[in-house]
A and B are shown apart, each in its own frame.
Chain A
Amino acid sequence: MVTDEAIFEAVGEVADPEVPVLTIADLGVLRGVRREGDEVVVTITPTYSGCPAMDLIRHEVELTLQSLHVHGRVETVLSPAWTTDWMTDAGKTKLTEYGIAPPSSTGPVLLQLSVRCPLCGSPNTSELSRFGSTSCKSLWRCNSCREPFDHFKAI
Chain B
Amino acid sequence: MSDLFLYALRLGDDALISAQRTGEWIAAAPQLEEDVALGNIALDQLGQARSLLQYAGSLDGRTEDDLAYFRDEREFLNVQLCELPNGDFGFAMARLLYFATYQHLLYDELRSCADETLAGVAGKAVKEVAYHVDHATQWVLRLGDGTEESHRRMQAGLDALWPYTAELFESDALVQRLEVAVDPSTLHDAWSDRVLAVIDESTCERPSSSYQHSGGRSGRHTEHMGYLLAELQHVARSHPGATW
A contact residues vs B (CB 8 Å cutoff): 46, 48-52, 77-83, 128-133, 135, 139, 153, 155
B119 on interface, CB distance cutoff 8 Å? yes
Cross-chain contact B134 with A49 (CB below 8 angstroms): no
Measured in the bound complex, the distance between the Cα atoms of B111 and A78 in whole Å is 11
Cross-chain contact B123 with A130 (CB below 8 angstroms): no
- Which of A50, A129, A139 contacts B44, CB < 8 Å? A50
Cross-chain contact B127 with A81 (CB below 8 angstroms): yes
Cross-chain contact B120 with A79 (CB below 8 angstroms): yes
Contact partners of A128 in chain B: CB under 8 A: 33
**Range class of the B interface residue count:** 20 to 34
State the 3 A-B residue pairs at the shortest beta-carbon distance, nearest first.
A50-B47, A49-B47, A79-B120
Contact partners of A83 in chain B: CB under 8 A: 127
Cross-chain contact A49 with B119 (CB below 8 angstroms): no
Main SS of chain B's interface residues?
helix
Q: What 0/1 pattern do residues 123 to 134 of B give for CB contact below 8 A with A?
A: 111011001001
B118 to chain A, nearest CB (A): 10
Cross-chain contact A131 with B47 (CB below 8 angstroms): no
Measured in the bound complex, the distance between the Cα atoms of B34 and A55 in whole Å is 27
Main SS of chain A's interface residues?
loop
Cross-chain contact B51 with A49 (CB below 8 angstroms): yes
Measured in the bound complex, the distance between the Cα atoms of B43 and A50 in whole Å is 5
B45 on interface, CB distance cutoff 8 Å? yes
From A49, which residue of chain B is reached at the shortest CB distance? B47
Cross-chain contact B124 with A131 (CB below 8 angstroms): no
List 7 extra interface pairs beyond A81-B127, A131-B135, CB under 8 A: A78-B51, A81-B124, A130-B37, A130-B135, A131-B41, A132-B36, A139-B33
Cross-chain contact B121 with A78 (CB below 8 angstroms): yes
Question: Residue among B39, B51, B124 with the most chain A CB within 10 A?
Answer: B124
Q: What 0/1 pattern do residues 40 to 60 of B give for CB contact below 8 A with A?
A: 110111111011000000000
Cross-chain contact A48 with B36 (CB below 8 angstroms): no
Contact partners of A49 in chain B: CB under 8 A: 44, 46-48, 50-51, 121, 124-125, 128
Measured in the bound complex, the distance between the Cα atoms of B120 and A23 in whole Å is 24
Contact partners of B121 in chain A: CB under 8 A: 49, 78
Measured in the bound complex, the distance between the Cα atoms of B134 and A77 in whole Å is 27
Measured in the bound complex, the distance between the Cα atoms of B42 and A50 in whole Å is 9
Cross-chain contact B135 with A155 (CB below 8 angstroms): no
Cross-chain contact A79 with B123 (CB below 8 angstroms): yes
B116 on interface, CB distance cutoff 8 Å? yes
Cross-chain contact A48 with B128 (CB below 8 angstroms): yes
Cross-chain contact A130 with B120 (CB below 8 angstroms): no
Contact partners of A82 in chain B: CB under 8 A: 124
